[in-house]
């Protein structure tokens, strides 16, 4: 009987030790200040991510505005150069610019004047290319 009590005592002690050791890898519940610190860190991370996204969008918008300003400047330079060219009725020529590509449209008197208008546009600083939509005037 004493031998059985001893075995039971050993079994209880072993079970208690296993339970205690099994719980050692458990983390203690977080204190209030630890929870606040973790929440603040998560919030700060989300703010940083949002700020990075906003910076990307702002950069894209700035690039778009700069490109539009460049296009407007190119259009003005081409129009000015066309106005300065003798023989061209530059008021009959429309100039549009998108992404540094100049489109010429409208009516022109001769093929020589058409070629001259294209040459002026293509040699203007900042122009990547010229799209010729000029039409020869027909005389009736």
The pLDDT tens digits of the residues spanning 110-128 come to: 899 999 999 999 999 989 9
Phi, psi (5° rounding) for residue 99?
A: 55, 40
Architecture of domain 39-136 in CATH? 2-Layer Sandwich (3.30)
Which of 114, 67, 128 has its CA nearest to residue 104? 114
The pLDDT tens digits of the residues spanning 34-72 come to: 876 787 677 678 767 777 777 777 777 776 666 767 888
User: Which residues touch 74 (CB under 8 Å, ≥6 apart)?
Assistant: 97, 100, 102, 124, 126, 127
Tell me the CA end-to-end span of the chain in Å, nearest whole number.
132
Specify the pTM: 0.56
- Helix ranges (H only) for 23-140 are 32-84, 111-122
């Amino acid at each position: 009987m004493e031998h059985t009590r001893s075995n039971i005592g050993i079994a209880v002690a072993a079970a208690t030790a296993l339970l205690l050791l099994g719980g050692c890898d458990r983390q203690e519940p977080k204190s209030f200040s630890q929870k606040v610190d973790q929440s603040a860190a998560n919030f700060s991370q989300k703010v940083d991510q949002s700020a990075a996204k906003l910076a990307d969008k702002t950069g894209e918008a700035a690039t778009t505005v700069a490109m539009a300003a460049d296009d407007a400047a190119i259009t003005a330079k081409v129009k000015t150069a066309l106005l300065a060219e003798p023989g061209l009725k530059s008021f009959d020529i429309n100039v549009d610019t998108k992404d540094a590509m100049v489109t010429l449209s409208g009516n022109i008197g001769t093929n020589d004047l058409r070629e001259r208008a294209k040459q002026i546009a293509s040699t203007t600083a900042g122009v990547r290319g010229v799209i010729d939509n000029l039409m020869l005037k027909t005389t009736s």
